[in-house]
């Protein structure tokens, strides 16, 4: 069938079963948008900024496990999208991002809105393409979806010149991809797995170290089964919240710079660290030469480049995590394991001695309280998004996550401005859940324009601003490590957030008491429109525990003046 390149784009998305596209049109991508106007197979969400389009697609992908799709134009449209691409790349989120490019006859002449998009996106995408010939377009889009969603997932960028989208040719969508140099290892090596299981059987203090790969490979329930059958305690990274479920007695909480005492001490004392889809991020390990220094390491990852990248690995296993963990479960009967009861009891005692806590107050709302309260009132019915900063760490620490894909945050890149558009993508993907975005007074202003998208698209995102009039996390570091020199972190000059959200067509609340918060949350959930609950919180609260930069995990700061 003959059709234009633009029509090939929409037909290819139809062939891939795409249901939702987030995007923003412009000159170089107008032919594609003309076809989007005509088609009926997928819904297009017009965001108000290209960065937000990518973050919304990320939120959609994280909530569903499907490939998120965004379309933006050339030049500034693309460069605005780069932060989103980098964010998705760092967190291994499957995206296909299609961009317009100037016509092939103008490329290299500094034409209007020309930018070397492929050159710029190369270090922040899993793969990228510049479409030079119309006949390549269907194959490239097929490959883009395959690469984005297989192996270690990630964003794939497809840059299409405007004249290619106008050209007419035969449309043949491939049934399969043929990429001889790209063949991710799905099935584990049986000898490697046997050696790892032997090591577990001999260990006295084994510990499961669960990373975001557990979410990406949909193996949370296999990991729970493995932990419970062998009675092995577990810690989660920021990106793995929800894998074990907060009520599981084997879960010791989050690991790392703001991890729980028991989790960090478990990593310090373990004699066998079993890494499942984790990448040994510096915010997790602290001082690397002290991290799990008493332990041998099993590292399971589908990306061989991640194994032994930062720590010596005694027992590497390359393979899909779900397949590998199921293999570990199936082989349990072949080994005789030690009794880890005393080890588990020791770590549970650590949790009793040093629980994750804060000193509550009825005079000033502590920023942790609204997070705990939403957990009590909404619990499993909410999917939680955040921006980046103190509120992000408090959310990761205190929200009672029960299941995978309940948590949507920017982990690797730490992108302020992620929360609102990310929660927008969640609201589109999971209308059966309440999409709640915990944010800060600094972060929310970075993509505030997406309130308009929420109003237009009837996406009832509830934004809860923990307003301390500071760039809180930077202020915390300045207080602790820069002798309280608060350089450019005071955000006392602020808009009226209630009037701001009302100007966009949403509803707003400014609360200073716990009673007002409960009433605002209840009202926002009943009205089911985009809302903003501004909570005036204690300005000087700190995120604790904290491992100072360059220190080992067992060198945590546990108490501050506000938490005595």
* Nearest-angstrom CA–CA distance, 57 and 70: 6
Angle between helices 5-15 and 137-149 (to 10 degrees): 30
Backbone angles phi, psi at 506, to 5 degrees: -95, -165
Q: 55 and 45 in contact (C-beta within 8 Å)? A: no
Q: Which residues pair with 300 in a beta bridge?
A: 276, 317
7, 62, 66, 162: which one is catalytic? 162
The verdict on whether 113 is a catalytic residue reads yes
Q: In Å, how far are 187, 366, 375, 497, 522 from 494, measured between CA atoms?
A: 54, 20, 28, 8, 26
Beta strands in 255-371 (DSSP E): 272-276, 296-301, 315-318
Q: 75 and 114 in contact (C-beta within 8 Å)? A: yes
The verdict on whether 473 is a catalytic residue reads yes
The verdict on whether 162 is a catalytic residue reads yes
* Nearest-angstrom CA–CA distance, 458 and 530: 7
* Nearest-angstrom CA–CA distance, 98 and 138: 13
Q: Which residues pair with 417 in a beta bridge?
A: none
Q: Mention every residue, 6+ apart, whose C-beta is less than 8 A from residue 281.
A: 237, 256, 411, 412
Question: Residues 435, 441, 443, CA angle at the centre, nearest 5°?
Answer: 65
Q: 436 and 385 in contact (C-beta within 8 Å)? A: yes
The verdict on whether 50 is a catalytic residue reads yes
155-161 and 20-23 strand pairing: unpaired
254, 446, 473, 556: which one is catalytic? 473
Question: Residues 463, 465, 471, CA angle at the centre, nearest 5°?
Answer: 135
* Nearest-angstrom CA–CA distance, 469 and 392: 16
Q: 205 and 343 in contact (C-beta within 8 Å)? A: yes
68-72 and 95-101 strand pairing: parallel
The verdict on whether 66 is a catalytic residue reads no
* Residue 189: DSSP 8-state: P
With the C-alpha atoms ordered 530, 407, 218, 228, is the resulting torsion angle positive or negative? negative
19, 39, 113, 457: which one is catalytic? 113
Peptide bond into 545 cis (omega under 30): yes
Q: 258 and 235 in contact (C-beta within 8 Å)? A: no
* Nearest-angstrom CA–CA distance, 138 and 97: 15
Q: Which residues pair with 20 in a beta bridge?
A: 43
Write out the DSSP string of 194-237: HHHHHHHHH-SSEEEEE-THHHHTT-HHHHHHHHHHHT--EEE-
Tell me if residue 348 falls in helix, strand or coil: helix
11, 35, 50, 167: which one is catalytic? 50
Q: 272 and 295 in contact (C-beta within 8 Å)? A: yes
Task: Give the number of C-alpha atoms closer than 13 A to the C-alpha of residue 80, restricted to the C-beta side.
Answer: 26
The count of residues in the chain is 564
168-170 and 2-4 strand pairing: antiparallel
Q: Determine how many CB atoms are found less than 10 A away from the CB of residue 333.
A: 7
Residues serving a catalytic function are 50, 112-113, 162, 473
């Amino acid at each position: 069938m003959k059709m234009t390149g633009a029509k090939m784009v929409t037909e290819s998305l139809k062939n891939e079963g795409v249901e939702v596209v987030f995007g923003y049109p412009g000159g170089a991508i107008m032919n594609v948008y003309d076809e989007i106007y005509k088609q009926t197979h997928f819904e297009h969400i017009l965001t108000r900024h290209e960065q937000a389009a990518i973050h919304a697609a990320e939120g959609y992908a994280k909530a569903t496990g499907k490939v998120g799709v965004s379309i933006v134009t050339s030049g500034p449209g693309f460069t605005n999208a780069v932060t989103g691409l980098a964010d998705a790349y760092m967190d291994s989120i499957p995206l296909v991002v299609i961009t317009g490019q100037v016509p092939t006859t103008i490329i290299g002449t500094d034409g209007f809105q020309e930018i070397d998009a492929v050159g710029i996106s190369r270090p922040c995408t899993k793969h990228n393409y510049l479409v030079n010939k119309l006949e390549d377009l269907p194959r490239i889009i097929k490959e883009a979806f395959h690469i984005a969603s297989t192996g270690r997932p990630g964003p794939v960028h497809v840059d299409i010149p405007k004249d290619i989208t106008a050209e007419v040719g035969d449309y043949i969508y491939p049934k399969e991809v043929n990429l001889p140099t790209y063949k991710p290892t799905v099935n584990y090596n049986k000898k490697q797995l046997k050696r790892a299981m032997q090591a577990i059987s001999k260990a006295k203090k084994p510990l499961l170290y669960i990373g975001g790969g557990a979410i990406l490979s949909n193996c949370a329930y296999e990991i729970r089964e493995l932990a419970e059958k062998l009675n092995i305690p577990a810690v989660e990274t920021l990106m793995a919240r929800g894998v074990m479920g907060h009520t599981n007695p084997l879960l010791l909480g989050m690991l790392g710079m703001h991890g729980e005492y028991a989790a960090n001490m478990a990593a310090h004392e373990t004699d066998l660290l079993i890494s499942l889809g984790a990448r040994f991020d510096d915010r997790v390990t602290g001082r690397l030469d002290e991290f799990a220094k008493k332990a041998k390491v099993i590292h399971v990852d589908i990306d061989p480049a991640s194994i032994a990248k930062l720590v010596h690995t005694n027992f590497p296993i390359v393979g899909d995590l779900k397949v590998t963990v199921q293999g570990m479960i199936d082989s349990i009967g072949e080994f005789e394991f030690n009794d880890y009861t005393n080890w588990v009891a020791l770590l549970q005692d650590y949790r009793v001695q040093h629980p994750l806590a804060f000193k509550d107050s009825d005079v000033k709302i502590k920023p942790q309280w609204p997070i705990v309260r939403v957990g009590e009132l909404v619990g499993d019915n909410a999917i939680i998004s955040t921006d980046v900063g103190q509120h992000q760490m408090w959310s990761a620490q205190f929200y009672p996550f029960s299941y995978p894909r309940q948590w949507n945050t920017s982990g690797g890149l730490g992108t302020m401005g992620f929360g609102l558009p990310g929660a927008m993508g969640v609201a589109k993907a999971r209308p059966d859940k309440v999409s709640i975005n915990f944010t800060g007074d600094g972060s929310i202003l970075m993509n505030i324009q997406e309130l308009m998208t929420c109003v237009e698209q009837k996406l009832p995102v509830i934004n809860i601003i923990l307003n301390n009039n500071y760039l809180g996390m930077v202020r915390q570091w300045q207080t602790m490590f820069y002798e309280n020199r608060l350089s450019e972190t005071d955000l006392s000059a602020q808009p009226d957030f209630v009037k701001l959200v009302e100007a966009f067509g949403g509803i707003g609340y400014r609360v200073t008491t716990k009673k007002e918060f409960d009433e605002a949350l209840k009202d926002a959930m009943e009205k089911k429109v985009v809302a903003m609950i501004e909570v005036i919180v204690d300005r000087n609260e700190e995120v604790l525990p904290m491992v100072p930069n360059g220190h080992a995990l067992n060198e945590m700061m546990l108490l501050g003046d506000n938490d005595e």
